[in-house]
């Protein structure tokens, strides 16, 4: 391989990150855009960096030690990083390499002031910008100074902040190389930053220009206040002048900050026309790189120059529109309804879309439903807002914000709308046999799927699955099943509304639905308590489970006293619930049957914290409490005017809600039961592809869509580069927080409660399960790492059914995501746990171990200490 130590910026483009780093590649790409001027310069390539690293052998050992450090040991990271930097800066640049840099510098003008800028291979990437992590030096004059600062840029790959940033973004230190960009400095009258999308709201049609007099480095470093221009559709729509105009002057006066005086003090750093022209250039740059850009620019006597452009990695992506579709679109998050807002891998996304009842759109590893048509229709809008608002007021508020701006045109109603918006209950009899029949039909369908899929492999498996997805949707969309779910929800709303109006009771249905029969998810949590009862009497089994480190532990149980009984009980639990897991709507997530060790910490918590017989006792206590509540409200209603009628209607609704509300969880159980069958068959195909040498590992199929997976099985060929790109993209999606509502312009909205009835300092949310509880907050982001004591309050991001085993061991619940009828809320009411959901950033604002008070009736959380 011929090594290239120096290349001109005009010789490279954005495809050559490996040679010149992210910044160098972007600058090369910028120089190829018509009308975009980039200051002249060259790159000292990563080949030069590799050579320097080879000349400094102690670095290899230091990198080994760095990779073994605890990332939280900041002092050790700081010390070792400084050693690596000192070694690199102390390594002499070989003569031929120094000569190549000096020759390139002479072509710029030997005594010209230069900018010497780091350009790492993991920098300015679509998945992580690494902005500000590496060093840049301005006003560097002369060959000796440039060579010295090139070494300092190489060393800046190992600043403490860069090392920490790489660890946080999953980037291997050894996989990163450093190039250096050397450019002739432009002496600007003004400079600044352009964001081609609004950096706060994400709106892609709105650009933000920040401008100051003199060098832009002062603005980027926060040393001066900028003039701010907001540009939309080719005109300035807002201006915010600098509070105090200061500038960092260009050479020869140096880099000290000084006040702006004279006529410039009264005018902004740019005119409106210049700001609009700059945004027009930004749009060309954005089109070249395919996503919103953060652009550094400067204005000199000869016009605008672009000195850097990097992708804005913090904005949530926008769903790709259909070809030719230029209409405004409004999307609602699926993850917030499913209580799983983590990103999904491509196979998970495509499988959910293939089996869902509504068309869905993907963005940022999440799924969204287009509700534009519903919002455009007056009747549809009212129904949607009422339905959404009952479950999640934040989503309703976000939708109303979009509507208030006129983003969606109002169209005449063309026919009947979708589901009723809270009118009379669905016309089905309050008969438990209806629910029993639906469950039996579901079990029979899943059993038939299990039998039929056993003989299917290769392309035939994928053909079979497409047919199976039709049956999947038929069961899921069964009109009777949907009527039952709707009837349970409507009865809940009826009871809460009427009993609040008649008796002043808030959220009365929370108590009236305690221990409702037929809830497969609450039964799952109680069954884990029964499993703890089997294990608790056998101390050797308990000790063995405390030492479990992998998923092959079940076979070892049989050799212990009581171990065979424990193993059989665990196997029986997995037979019933082993298809579940946290994030279970993503088929790429391993199930409990595959990873039984996931349940061991929760099981041991129950062994330690819960008394024998707790499952039956808790269920009976809930049933009695619901019965007592029913007697109380009926007695109080009969004492009211027209009391007999009110009591009679209420009694019928209580019977109805207890008959139907438990079924709310069963369709999800049916879905994950089928997903487990699909997953087992697909992983068999993945294993065959690995054995055939087509894929490096089975999990590679997770980064293919269903159709792509099918094509790989058919052809025996896989696109390794596509899989690598998808893995990089998935890592970047994990850093993004999905909005509840997203527009086609890219605006991300999460809504607001707009209420003032909570105490000062309290965290406001949605009340979904009545009661008040005070206790220790345990902030848990991973089920396997939960370590709970009796009386603890669980604080987490979301709780899909896979979190339910924890519910029987806690006193209260706080989540960042959720609604009145989402899974966590339904199970919390079943167990009588005071619960507040939709508390923004709860896992950050509440400290692990902090004492808190959860007001599940009024919807807020007090921080006590």
Strands 361-363 and 330-333: unpaired
- The Cα–Cα gap between 347 and 462 comes to 13
SS3 445: helix
Whole-angstrom Cα distance, residue 631 to residue 611? Answer: 30
Q: Running DSSP on this structure, what letter comes out for residue 664?
A: G
CA 604/CA 514 separation, integer angstroms: 26
Residues facing residue 214 across a β-bridge: 248
CB 130 within 8 A of CB 123: yes
Question: Mind giving me the DSSP string for 230-262?
Answer: EEETTEEEEEE--SS-EEEPPTTS-S--EE--G
Q: Which two tokens stand for residue 125?
A: 């990437």
State both tokens at 330.
Answer: 């409004």
> Which residue out of 336, 472, 823, 855 is catalytically annotated?
823
Residue 454 structure tokens = 């056993």
- Are 138 and 254 in contact, with CB atoms under 8 Å apart? no
DSSP codes, 542-558: HHHHHT--STT-HHHHT
**CA–CA dist 639, 636 (Å, integer):** 5
Per the CB < 8 A criterion, the answer to whether 769 and 856 are in contact is: yes
500 is catalytic: no
Residue (of 420, 428, 471) closest to 446 by Cα position: 471
Residue 163 forms beta bridges with which residues? none
Q: Which residue has the tokens 């596509």?
A: 722
Residue 489 phi, psi (nearest 5) = -65, -45
Rounded to a whole number of angstroms, the distance between the first and last alpha carbons of the chain is: 63
| Enclosing H/E stretch for 361 | strand 361-363
State the greatest distance between any 2 C-alpha atoms of the chain, in Å, as a whole number. 101
* Beta pairing class for 190-195 and 235-240: unpaired
Question: What distance in Å separates the CA atoms of residue 101 and residue 784, rounded to the nearest whole number?
Answer: 54
What are the DSSP calls for 44-76, one per residue?
A: E-HHHHHHHHHH-THHHHHHHHHHHS-TT-HHH
Active site residues: 823
């Amino acid at each position: 391989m011929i090594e290239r130590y120096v290349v001109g910026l005009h010789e490279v483009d954005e495809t050559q990150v490996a040679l010149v780093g992210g910044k160098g590649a972007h600058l090369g790409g910028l120089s190829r855009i018509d009308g975009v001027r980039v200051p002249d310069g060259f790159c000292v390539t990563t080949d030069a960096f590799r050579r320097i690293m080879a000349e400094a052998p102690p670095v290899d050992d230091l990198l080994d030690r760095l990779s073994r450090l605890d990332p939280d040991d900041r002092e050790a990271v700081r010390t070792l990083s400084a050693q690596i930097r000192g070694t690199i800066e102390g390594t002499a640049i070989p003569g031929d390499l120094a000569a190549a840099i000096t020759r390139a510098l002479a072509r710029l003008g030997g005594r010209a002031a230069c900018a010497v800028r780091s350009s790492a291979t993991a920098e300015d990437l679509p998945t992580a910008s690494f902005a500000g992590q590496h060093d840049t030096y301005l006003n560097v004059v002369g060959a000796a100074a440039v060579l010295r600062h090139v070494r300092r840029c190489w060393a800046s790959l190992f600043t403490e902040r860069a090392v920490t940033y790489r660890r946080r973004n999953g980037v291997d230190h050894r996989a990163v190389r450093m190039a250096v960009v050397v450019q002739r400095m432009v002496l600007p009258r003004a400079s600044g930053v352009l964001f081609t999308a609004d950096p706060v709201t994400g709106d892609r049609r709105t650009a933000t220009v920040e401008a100051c007099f003199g060098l832009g480095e002062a603005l980027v470093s926060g040393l001066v206040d900028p003039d701010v221009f907001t540009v939309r559709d080719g005109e300035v729509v807002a201006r915010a002048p600098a509070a105090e105009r200061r500038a960092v002057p260009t050479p020869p006066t140096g880099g000290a900050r000084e006040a702006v005086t004279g006529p410039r003090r009264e005018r902004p750093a740019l005119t409106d026309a210049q700001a609009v022209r700059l945004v027009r250039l930004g749009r060309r740059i954005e089109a070249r790189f395919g996503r919103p850009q953060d652009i550094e620019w400067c204005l000199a006597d000869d016009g605008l120059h672009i000195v850097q452009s990097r992708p804005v990695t913090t904005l949530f992506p926008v769903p790709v529109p259909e070809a030719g579709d230029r209409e405004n679109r409004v999307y609602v998050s699926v993850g917030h309804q499913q209580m799983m807002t983590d990103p999904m891998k491509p196979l998970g996304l495509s499988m959910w879309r293939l089996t869902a009842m509504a068309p869905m759109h993907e963005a940022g590893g999440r799924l969204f439903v287009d509700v534009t048509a519903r919002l455009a229709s007056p009747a549809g809008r009212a129904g949607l807002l009422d339905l959404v608002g009952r479950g999640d007021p934040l989503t309703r508020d976000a939708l109303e914000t979009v509507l208030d701006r006129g983003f969606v045109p109002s169209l005449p109603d063309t026919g009947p709308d979708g589901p009723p918006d809270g009118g009379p209950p669905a016309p089905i009899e309050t008969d438990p046999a209806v629910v029993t029949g639906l469950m039996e039909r579901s079990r029979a369908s899943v059993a038939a799927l299990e039998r039929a899929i056993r003989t299917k492999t290769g392309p035939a498996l994928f053909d079979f699955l497409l047919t199976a997805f039709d049956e999947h949707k038929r069961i899921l969309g069964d009109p009777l099943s949907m009527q039952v779910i709707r009837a349970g929800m409507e009865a809940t709303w009826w009871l809460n509304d009427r009993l609040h109006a008649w008796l002043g009771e808030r959220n009365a249905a929370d108590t009236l639905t305690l221990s409702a029969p037929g809830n497969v998810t609450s039964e799952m949590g109680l069954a884990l308590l029964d499993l703890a009862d089997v294990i608790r009497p056998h101390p050797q089994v308990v000790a063995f489970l405390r030492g479990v480190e992998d998923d092959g532990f079940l076979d070892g149980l049989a050799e212990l006293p009581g171990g065979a009984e424990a193993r059989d009980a665990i196997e029986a639990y997995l037979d019933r619930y082993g298809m579940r897991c946290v994030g279970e709507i993503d088929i790429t997530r391993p199930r409990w049957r595959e990873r039984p060790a996931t349940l061991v910490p929760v099981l041991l918590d129950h062994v330690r914290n819960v008394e024998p017989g707790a499952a039956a006792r808790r269920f009976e206590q809930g049933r009695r409490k619901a019965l007592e509540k029913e007697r109380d409200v009926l007695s109080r209603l009969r004492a009211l005017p027209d009391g007999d009628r009110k009591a009679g209607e209420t009694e019928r609704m209580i019977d109805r809600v207890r008959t139907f509300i438990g079924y709310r969880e069963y369709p999800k159980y049916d879905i994950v039961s089928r997903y487990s069958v699909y997953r087992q068959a697909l992983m068999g195909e993945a294993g065959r592809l690995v054995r055939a040498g087509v894929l490096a590992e089975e999990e590679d199929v997770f980064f293919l869509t269903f159709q792509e997976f099918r094509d790989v099985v058919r052809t025996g060929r896989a696109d390794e580069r596509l899989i690598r790109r998808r893995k990089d993209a998935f890592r970047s999606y994990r850093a993004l927080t999905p909005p509840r509502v997203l527009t086609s312009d890219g605006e991300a909205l999460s809504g607001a409660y707009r209420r003032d009835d909570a105490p000062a300092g309290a965290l406001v949310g949605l009340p979904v399960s009545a009661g008040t509880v005070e206790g220790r907050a345990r902030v848990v982001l991973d089920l396997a790492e939960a370590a709970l004591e009796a009386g603890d309050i669980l604080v987490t991001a979301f709780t899909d059914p896979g979190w339910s085993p924890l519910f029987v061991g806690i006193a209260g619940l706080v989540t960042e995501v959720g609604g009145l009828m989402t899974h966590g809320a339904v199970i919390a009411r079943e167990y009588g746990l005071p619960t507040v959901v939709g508390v923004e950033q709860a896992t950050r604002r509440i400290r692990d171990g902090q004492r808190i008070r959860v007001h599940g009736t009024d919807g807020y959380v007090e921080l006590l200490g």
